[in-house]
Structure 1
């Protein structure tokens, strides 16, 4: 009944769509009730507004899926798993995040750490959207700049983030 590309788009935006529905319900509650229920409604409207903003950023970060390899994040370690190879990097030891342009295939993230070879992860790897939560927690990262660079598809490597603490040593 629904075209496959429309179904994929709805699935990609499902978190935002659900949150907007909940926001509408809470706004109705805030405007229809009095007293404590109205205050609870307004508080939920504010919380959901922030959540919707974050969800839209997550969707903008996602380059789709179905790419080569699988990304897992567990106990402060980013793992990129391949049938024959892959790699790991500790989030705390990361020195930079670089967006590498797509010469053939998808663009890649290059995650660097001292005394370790760079970890390259395609933007469309399965589970790569989990990297958004890691990246937004890096000290000093400019999230909007990162999202603009992903959309612009640069033709040269772009440094998205560099660890200032490690750069001082």
Structure 2
């Protein structure tokens, strides 16, 4: 294994730089031992079209890490702009007494008002630093016509359309 050298970059500076990249917001869900588990994440990307593969990155200390390893499947719920409460609940920013309603799609619990849902079987996983990158083989996709929930620089944001530039 290649040994990586720490170049002395300040942790806060690095986090701030990475946080300046605007992302969508997802809630990763799975079911393990007949219990639904969810976690807000923005480390998500498409990997391949043939075969259809996606990747999520989960910290080694997150409870979801072990749930995915055991369940060997997960869903990525891409949140719509009206799902701020869900994002905050599954990131631990809120502790609501009420429970969320999950829909079963392709055998996995999913959030019903999501912009998109991608269900996956675990294809492979790679430990990289203090995270594991889980590669999911896509088993299902649902899409609704909604605006996405966006996160950048530590804040939730909304999209606005820019006028086309005229030459």
Question: Would the TM-score normalized by the shorter structure come out above 0.5?
Answer: no
Shorter-chain TM-score bucket reads: under 0.3
Q: Which has the higher helix share?
A: 1
Larger RCO (CA within 8 A; separation ≥ 6): 2
Q: Which has the higher strand share?
A: 2
What TM-score, normalized to structure 2? 0.28
What TM-score, normalized to structure 1? 0.27
